[in-house]
Amino acid sequence: MVRDGRTAAALGVPTKDALRLWLRLLVLTNMIEGRVRRRLRAAFGITLPRFDVMAALYNAPEGLSMGELSHRLMVSNGNVTGIVERLECEGLLRRRQRPEDRRSHLVRLTDAGREAFGSMAQEHENWIASMLSELSEEEVEQLYHLLDKAKRSILNSDGEED
């Protein structure tokens, strides 16, 4: 069933093609993620979740609360807490209590963390570019717009927000 009880066929959606596309996207995502995980481990001795935490903090130089960090990464506070503790022990980030709310901590990368992430991010960007190198610039742009359109379609399909 799709939107307001009508079937995919009634909406003119090519069901088998849509399913094949979804499976292709899933396989592609898993392939890229697996390669990135292996390369991060081999090149930097870091996990993808730790890289993701550092990326979120790198893009928020003023820092984030633990709740904001969890929200941005779409994971539970518990998942973030362990990662933050390990990165803090390594001197890559700092956690401070907020003066206005002693129950809340502000987390930000240290200078060492910003420098380490900068190196990792450049390599990560090179890896992704290499993996997609058989696509022309125009094809990358087209695929980007088509995936954006697919995302909007998903968001509009049943009114559920992500």
The CATH number for 37's domain is: 1.10.10.10
Confidence of residue 1 (pLDDT cuts 50, 70, 90): very low
**Residue 153 domain flag:** no
The span from the CA of 74 to the CA of 47, in Å, is 17
- Distances, alpha carbon 77 to alpha carbons 63, 104, 105, 137, in Å: 16, 12, 12, 39
Q: Is 82 exposed, middle or buried (0-12, 13-18, 19+ CB in 10 A)?
A: exposed
**Residue 118 domain flag:** yes
- How many residues are present in the chain? 162
**Residue 161 domain flag:** no
The span from the CA of 24 to the CA of 33, in Å, is 14
pLDDT single digits (tens) 41-100 = 999 999 999 999 999 999 999 999 999 999 999 998 888 999 999 999 999 999 998 777
Please give the average per-residue pLDDT across 114-128, as a whole number.
97
Stronger pLDDT, 152 or 101, i.e. the higher one: 152
**Residue 87 domain flag:** yes
DSSP characters over 68-104: HHHHHHTS-HHHHHHHHHHHHHTTSEEEEEETTEEEE
**Residue 151 domain flag:** no
**Residue 32 domain flag:** yes
Task: Give the number of domains in the chain.
Answer: 1
**Residue 146 domain flag:** no
Tokens of 135: 């696509």
- Evaluate whether 43 touches 51 at the Cβ level (below 8 Å): no
**Residue 156 domain flag:** no
Give the structural domain span for 91. 13-128
**What is the SS3 assignment for 162?**
coil
To the nearest whole number, what is the mean pLDDT of the chain?
89
